[in-house]
A and B are shown apart, each in its own frame.
Chain A
């Protein structure tokens, strides 16, 4: 059963043939898990290696003499600080300091940047970015449909990825990338990820997706590689307390409230929403994203209400069992006065108020 209205990555058939359970994810037909199941996929990534199809992510090129100035005008992080071959995490902000999307900005050279944006927001981002082009000397290209993106993540990712290239991958630092031949084709090899593990994200022409995927599976077999679906991708990023757009971030949530002050360079010069963010920082945020652990038996889920005493004070933005930590954890929005470690809270789980406590994030941090 194939829903023709859904968008498909170049690996759609491969997922179906490898037991992927397909779901509608923001208009994309994507595997939520494979036959091994979300727990096995999650643990494989933490302990060995996991493979993820993230070809649904959007790729937007910004090229020309004003590329850096243009992206610096639209995003919160300081693009002038990037060197060739480096990437950073950033946010596209609206006039109110809310988040249009969170993204990665890659610097190829001073005239060439790549923006990698979320799948469900690619069209919105494209409209936003093109509508904010004034007289800058730049060319914008939405290349999302041209690329596949495959993420290999986990302690064995480096060893396996190294089999496919002569480039010394161990020399690529975290949040850096290189362009070169990978498995015989041109690729962008980026030491980034969304799992809390070491690993790489490989961008290549979509026509090479199937071979690259299958070769990774074959080369990783001896290390116990598993293909991982969106469910494991979510639990892995949640253990690492990474934000998910539409949950911890939205048009109405400021990056400062989401705990992303570190990507808001308020003194770099003007950018969209800067004034609001500066004022918010000066006045102090009224609500913050915090991590929590459920103490009682039971699982907190997205959108459940959070109480302190009898007072409803906030909402769960992401809640789930954590397969590696073997706890029930989550992220929640709380008024700043309650956003402190050790704060006792209650979560309304279908009418039962379960005890939980605010804890430091990330919940999981790998040993380096």
Chain B
């Protein structure tokens, strides 16, 4: 199985992706993650203003068959939530790196993202799964 792993993003071992722009991190789940889950039918999201520590669960994503927690790889306060996913959760399957971003976080420590996996490292990590 080949996975789509864009080069401009950072990755966690829990299969989240992070796009860093200034002190804002946009977070979603990877193509590998959506593929493992199957048809996504429901997403439980946090509220704007909630704060999470690194690697803390901020919500859950459910397919027909299973439920999986989603973790923020980066500590910070949520500035935006992708409300559109409530109505079209299937976007997580069709466009995991685009329309299906989950949350935007104001990072406590922007350097934290440097500790995440690069696209090459994530690809390597997946090949050992």
Contact = CB atoms under 8 A, between A and B. Distances in A.
Contacts of A301: 67
Interface in B9-46: 38-39, 41-42, 44
A38 interface: yes
Contacts of A323: 64
A327 B25 CA distance: 34
B64 A320 contact: yes
Interface size class of B (residues with CB under 8 A): 10 to 19
A299 B39 contact: no
B87 to A, nearest CB: 11
A272 interface: no
Interface residues of A, number: 19
B67 A38 contact: no
B80 interface: no
Contacts of A32: 65
A350 B60 contact: yes
Contacts of A37: 38-39, 93
A350 B42 CA distance: 14
Nearest to B90: A39
Contacts of A299: 41-42, 62, 67
Given A39-B64, A323-B64, A298 B42 contact: yes
Contact of B64 (A21, A235, A298): A235
A38 B64 contact: yes
Interface in B60-85: 60, 62-65, 67
B62 A38 contact: no
Contact of A321 (B41, B60, B86, B93): B41
Contact of A39 (B39, B44, B60): B39
A231 interface: yes
Interface in A316-368: 320-321, 323, 328, 350
B63 to A, nearest CB: 8
B89 to A, nearest CB: 10
Interface string A37-53: 11110100000000000
A38 B42 contact: no
Interface string B89-106: 000010000000000000
Interface of A: 21, 32-33, 37-40, 42, 231, 235, 297-299, 301, 320-321, 323, 328, 350
Q: Which 6 A-B pairs have the closest CB atoms?
A: A39-B39, A38-B64, A37-B39, A321-B41, A231-B65, A321-B64
